[in-house]
Structure 1
Amino acid sequence: MALRQSGDDLISALQKGEATLEQIARKLEEEADRRFCKPGTGLVDAAQRQLAANHSHLKQLCEAAGAQPPDDEAFRSLQESVAEWNSKLNRGMQAATAGQQQYTRHDLNAALARIAMTTD
């Protein structure tokens, strides 16, 4: 009888722990969504800034090494494509927020994949 009670207590504790973890995961996703949805503070924006910094550093390294510099036109094209994707994503998020529609992480990934496949 005591063994069964101990097992039931363990199951109950695990269920409470699972519920707590799910609550924490939801809070983290809400925080990530909140941060991502602010124009200029999302993950894509941070990646764009880092990419620009890396490109500048690469140009300096190539110049110092006497190597051929990276193609600025290709870099600008990449930046424009990323900015366009980011803009489309932000418009979609704004429309969803206005309509109180909630996107899941899977929905966002699928939307990004569709945009990537339709862009040259």
Structure 2
Amino acid sequence: MRSTTLRPEAFRLLRSYINRLIETDNVIAASVVCIEFVTMMAASGRTAEAAHMRHYLASANEFGALAARTLVPEATDGPVGARPAPPPTGAVDDRAALGYMREALTAMRPAALPGLPPSDTCPGGNRHR
């Protein structure tokens, strides 16, 4: 399978995982899931969203700061000559970061990811629990 065939499923799984973290109040995992979010958003051309969450990573904790420096630095640079997205104002906490990622994934679903189910459903239409 080509990566473009798997992309909608990958974004759906990421959104589902973020929803689960929010539902279970497991906000400490936000910086871990954020690494994948930044990588996936940058790869799909959504560098503003990737840059916003990279800023969160850099200020979240030691693990996030290390990841922002070493794992995802080029992912938010965008095309050569493009202006980088301005950093967000104020600090972003773990809960807000999860909320932002969920909103960004939900907002991009219709246009950018055709075939992505409208809710957190399995390919057969059954709702994840």
Higher relative contact order, structure no. (Cα contacts within 8 Å, ≥ 6 residues apart): 2
Q: TM-score, normalised by structure 1?
A: 0.30
Q: TM-score, normalised by structure 2?
A: 0.29
More helix by share: 1
Larger-Rg structure: 1
